Structure 1
């Protein structure tokens, strides 16, 4: 951008300086002529002249004054007024191409005005006007660069504003701030979501180095929006059929993240409830585990994940005898119990899973029963121990006090 370059290659002749001062004194008249010319040449300025004629004339006067003053004083052309003009016209929605053409029209108008008043009366020769012609077009180039930069500035600001507004709508849906159907419909329209239908909420970890979950879901197939937080991504995804839900889980399962998915809900009004369930579903995965867990896939684990403090308190009571052991012994017994449940209570399958002898598994299970005073042949004891061992799996610090 040629801001800071001299506008004149050499001082103006005294005759031309006098003429420029005369024109400066007639600035309101010239501004009106330029406004009329712009209205004639450019459709967008014709509309501006109809709706805000004084504003258009004022803009013309400011920029003509700026140009004539630069001529008279032989200094750089100030571009701040031009920048403000560019920002104002960008806000009005006038295309950049129209604004640039307007400045070329204004430059030509300025030059021709000088020529009309200088050459016929013999005030100055055409040769003496050559530096002026060069200066006019240098000013136009400078103004054009400033205008283009102002439009880029406005577009960047608008993009930030639009993104902020979009995120505000997503947050409104997630937080339940929209209570009226009209508000929900407006948000859906702005976010390109269906106004009615079935939705799921996805709650995904953000793991450094792993691909974002949102990138794994084809936007051509799904109507969805995502909200990125420092530690998580939250998605609202429209699903029409059960096959859509299965396909969504398959797409996300390879993300390398721990992901919780809500059950399908009808309508955007139930998105906050779906988000709560997606968070609980994510808590069903222990630290380091990845993949997709749906709310209710494992009902008892879901119950534990949804009431972490209460589950922790009850697990401490049920597993108190185990948790009094040194941490290494705790871990062996709890790992064995977890594998025993995973293998359906089969000592042989549990042994294969843990790479130990079946008798070792049987011994550890008997010891757990002794320490917890629970009988794994009793359905209620089975449920109590399962809830407790799931709590321990999700909360590795449960027995930390034993070694303290």
Structure 2
């Protein structure tokens, strides 16, 4: 199952509509992400935790399907199958994924009708658009379902489901939790750390799980190594674990040490927040609470973006290069604890240049860099921009 063609090629006049939707891909991906989060509880949670990731997934799926239809190619079902394998191994429910594809199909259909306009449409064209959109959705859904069935048949998938139940707090009693821990090769008591990782560059390095196993750490990981539990013997092991994770090209978030399996879901949530405390595509390791302000910003990205709009709106309205200069200067000033000379050394410019740029920041933001309240607002806003930069 690789490439599969539709029963009939998409009519030429319809391909122009598909290309127009592709030309406005960021807009339609954003609209689809908001629609999914409004209509499905699972994707509502994804939107709350990682809005950028949901938009990336919507954009990739829309681009793949629309391009294949617009260029008259067959649908690349291998890509859908790989997506299904990854989602199944991450524990994403199949009904949520299939529902998302149905919502997406309706969205694309209505989007094409919107682009076509009443002067273009007639009953025949409307039926044609409906036919090829839903044929594509059926083919992708079949590929996804096949992928989920394949994962369900894998010998290791029983343990993956068991770990997922433990991570999500689905096991009701202590006895069930301890039995799951034994099956996963974890101790039934003691201290643990929840870890969430994301590889930031492709390479041939060992996986996190393999590296920890080689160093005799007891851990259990979701397939692909995205999230796991690591057993530790003492608090000092947190620093050692941090060093091990830091040796890989990954962005990793760690919870603080905890004991007791009922605390696992909360620890995993905190590890995810710690992971989001690193900018996108940046390797490093963060423990939850390392930087309280950054942790709060990462925990509430939507609210933080509102702060950005109010506190740094004047700076963010500048062209990309000018905006970056002022933001980098403000970041260096904070890193230098308010010293223009220290910021100048970090930026390789004269201190007077830093002072001039800071005056520009004050003019544009209407904030006073001698007022503790204004300084606090700018720091929170700056951390939000650092973690979720504005597009150029």
| Count of aligned pairs between the two proteins | 240
What per-residue deviation string (whole Å, max 9, x for no partner) do you get for residues 207-259 of structure 1?
42152222322455321111134xx6212001121221111111111101111
Q: Quick one: which of 332, 342, 346 aligns to 1:349? A: 342
Partner of 1:278: 271
Say which of 201, 220, 225 aligns to 1:225.
Answer: 220
Runs of 5+ in structure 1 lacking a partner?
A: 1-156
Q: Distance in 2 between matches of 1:216 and 1:348?
A: 43
Equivalent residue number for residue 311 of structure 1? 304
Please tell me whether residue 208 in structure 1 is matched to residue 183 in structure 2. Answer: no
Distance in 2 between the 1:341 and 1:220 partners? 38
Query: Any idea what the Cα deviations from partners look like across 1:258-316, whole Å, max 9, x if unmatched?
Result: 11111112112111111111111011111231111111101101100110011001111
Q: 2:357 is paired with a residue of what secondary structure?
A: helix
Identify which of 229, 242, 254 aligns with 2:247.
Answer: 254
Question: Structure 1 residues 210 and 372, CA, compared in 2 at 3 Å: closer, same or farther?
Answer: farther
Distance, in Å, in 2 between the alignment partners of 1:259 and 1:384 is 27
Structure 2 counterpart SS, 1:204 = strand
The equivalent of 2:156 in structure 1 is 163
Asked if 1:370 is matched to 2:366, the reply is no
CA contact (8 A) 2:304 2:381 kept: yes
Partners of 1:256 and 1:328 in 2: how far apart? Answer: 28
SS in 2 for 1:194: coil
Query: Conserved in 2, the CA contact under 8 Å of 1:369 and 1:375?
Result: yes
Q: What is the correspondence of 1:84-103 to structure 2 with a 5 Å cutoff? A: none
> C-alpha separation between the residues in 1 aligned to 2:215 and 2:359?
56
Q: 2:257 is matched with which residue?
A: 264
1:7: which partner in 2? none
SS at 1:228's partner residue? coil
**Following superposition of structure 1 onto structure 2, how do residues 3-402 of structure 1 map, counting pairs within 5 Å?**
161-206=154-199, 207-209=201-203, 211=205, 212-219=207-214, 221-229=216-224, 233-397=226-390, 400=391
The C-alpha deviation readout for 1:4-60, integer Å capped at 9, x for no partner, is: xxxxxxxxxxxxxxxxxxxxxxxxxxxxxxxxxxxxxxxxxxxxxxxxxxxxxxxxx
User: C-alpha separation between the residues in 2 aligned to 1:217 and 1:348?
Assistant: 43
- The root-mean-square deviation of aligned C-alpha atoms, in Å, is 1.9
| 1:99 alignment counterpart | none
CA distance in 2, matches of 1:344, 1:296: 20
Contact 1:179/1:269 (<8 A) preserved? no
Structure 1 position 382, deviation (Å): 1.4
Q: Please give the TM-score of this superposition, normalised by the length of structure 1.
A: 0.57
SS of structure 1 residue aligned to 2:203: coil
Asked whether the equivalents of residues 263 and 294 of structure 1 are also in contact (C-alpha less than 8 Å), the reply is: yes
User: CA 1:270–1:210 in 2, change beyond 3 Å: closer, same or farther?
Assistant: farther
- Sort the Cα spacing of 1:254 and 1:220 in 2 relative to 1 into closer, same or farther, 3 A: closer
Give the match's secondary structure for 1:348: helix
User: Gaps spanning 5+ residues in structure 2: where?
Assistant: 1-149
Separation (CA, whole Å) in 2 of partners of 1:220 and 1:365:
48
Partner of 2:144: none
The Cα of 1:160 is off from its aligned counterpart by 5.7
Contact 1:280 1:306 (C-alpha < 8 Å) held by counterparts = yes
Secondary structure of the residue aligned to 1:217 is helix
C-alpha distance 372-275 of structure 1, shift in aligned 2 (>3 A): same
> Does the CA-based 8 Å contact 1:210-1:257 persist in structure 2?
no
* Residue 40 (structure 1) aligns with: none
